[in-house]
Amino acid sequence: MPVSQLTLNDETRTPWIAFGTGTALYGKDAHQAVTVAIRNGFTHLDGAQQYNNEDSLGAGIAASGKPRSELYITTKLGELKPGDTPKSALEESLGKLRVDYVDLYLVHHALSHVGRLKDIWIGMEEARNAGLTKSIGVSNFTSDHLSEILEVATIPPAINQLEVHPYVWKALQPTLSLHQKYSIVTSSYGGLSPLVRGRGGPLDPVVENIRTRLARARGSAVSEGQVLHKYFQQKGILVVTTSTKVERILEYLDTENVPELTPDEIEDIEAAGAKLHKRFFVNCSFTSRYIHI
């Protein structure tokens, strides 16, 4: 079954679920994992200069045999070397990825470019105007960071990739409000953290009750992870996830076939999430400060 797509504010389209090469694959050879992911149905590959594995991501893409036109490739701008620009950094990434362009280029961290975010965003627009990427966006940006670059942007960010799950949903509201205003798609990494890293919280029984109902309605198994992924899909959120296991990859993609959550179930997830604020990754906070958790 084809993966459904999201329309971005620049009128391009992206698969709603992506295979990520950070976290478990950070700094590691991603060749085999990427090839397996593509051959089992993933078409959106999410990489980054900071992950230090763009060359093996490119090797995996090449080994898959999938035509470039059928893939959606994302990479992210890391810290710039002296004399570099977002455009020149992307040109270097394209060589490692073995492609002529990427579909999406994100500023990975605002913290890497303190005091020059506006210049960085102008450089991102230059990369897009040069045809090196179809879309540009950001990652780990708060509402303050977004407001700063929007003062100079002639092209608004298409996507903001953040740690998104029910335990941070309430805290994200100022940023999500700006997303809505400028039609910026929210992208989630670490979306399954409440189930994988945060067991014992108020979300657990809610997700289990929904999973049981969905499995009964479907007439076959539904996992807890599929419950949260379906929640994200219905919210119009782009999910970045990963696994080295074929059965898990197929489970993620099978979310397409899971029945939809009811409006009440979506409210139950958000109400349970609001009872606990918990983050699982070290990145920027949801205000203008930076914290380590």
- How many domains does one find in the chain? 1
Positions at the binding site: 108
Among the listed residues 26, 51, 101, 252, the single catalytic one is 51
- The H or E element containing residue 103 is strand 102-107
The predicted pLDDT at position 1 comes to 61
In a domain, 59, yes or no: yes
Strand pairing category for 13-15 and 5-7: antiparallel
The CA distance from 30 to 20, in Å, is 10
Q: Looking at residue 293, what is its pLDDT?
A: 24
CA separation (Å) from 267 to 171, 201, 270? 16, 17, 5
202-209: average pLDDT: 98
Q: Can 51 be counted among the known catalytic residues? A: yes
Cα distance between residue 244 and residue 19, in whole Å:
10
In this structure, what CATH number is given to the domain that contains residue 25?
A: 3.20.20.100
Domain range holding 193?
5-273
Residues belonging to the binding site for substrate are 108
28: pLDDT strictly greater than 70? yes
> pLDDT digit string (tens) for 152-173?
999 999 999 999 999 999 999 9
Band of pLDDT at residue 24, cut at 50, 70 and 90: confident
Q: Judge whether 128 lies within some domain.
A: yes
Residue 293 one-letter amino acid: I
Please tell me the total number of residues recorded for the chain in this structure.
293
- 187 within some domain: yes
pLDDT in tens, 261-277: 999 999 999 999 999 99
Position 2 scores a pLDDT of: 80
Please give the average per-residue pLDDT across 218-240, as a whole number.
Answer: 98
Q: Give the pLDDT confidence of 40-95 residue by residue, as tens digits.
A: 999 999 999 999 999 999 999 999 999 999 999 999 999 999 999 999 999 999 99
> In this structure, is residue 282 part of a structural domain?
no
- Which region holds residue 221: left if phi is over 0, alpha if psi is between -120 and 50, else beta? beta
* Residue 244 CB contacts under 8 Å (≥ 6 apart), including other chains: 24, 33, 36
> Does 291 map to a domain?
no
Mean pLDDT over all residues of the chain? 94
Q: Is residue 280 part of a domain?
A: no
Beta bridge partners of 271: none
Q: Are the beta carbons of 152 and 122 closer than 8 angstroms?
A: yes
* pLDDT-derived band at 282, boundaries 50, 70, 90: low
Entry pTM: 0.94
Q: Are the beta carbons of 136 and 124 closer than 8 angstroms? A: yes
- 3-state secondary structure (DSSP) of residue 247: helix
Task: Answer whether residue 278 is part of any domain.
Answer: no
Could you give phi then psi for residue 237, rounded to 5 degrees?
-100, 135
